[in-house]
Amino acid sequence: MYKILYLDEFEDVSDVEWKLTIDIINIWKEYKKNNNLDLFITNYKNILISKKEDILNIDVNAWNDLNKILLRMLPDIEKPNSFYDDIYDWGDKYLIKIKCE
């Protein structure tokens, strides 16, 4: 069984002017408590989908690129870190902050 890990040390991004912040703090805390990866993936995907209009307002390509990642986000996925890292890379590309702590 794979687990998603959170790294406490990231490069300093305090001077970045984010266009959008997507808050996943609550589902991240819940995941750390119960380690239910399928529920985490489902909830994470739902949060991202709920931000569709905000993302489209930033850039249509941002939504198109995210949609490609969303299609890979399935319960029972063997390697969840593959899409997890892609979401952060996607966010960096379009100045969308994924807030997890």
**pLDDT tens per residue, range 55-81:** 999 999 999 999 999 988 876 666 666
CB-based burial label for 92 (10 Å; 0-12, 13-18, 19+) = middle
Residue type, 84: Y
- pTM listed for this prediction: 0.81
**pLDDT tens per residue, range 7-53:** 444 455 567 789 999 999 999 999 999 988 889 889 999 999 999 99
Query: What are the tokens at 73?
Result: 């986000």
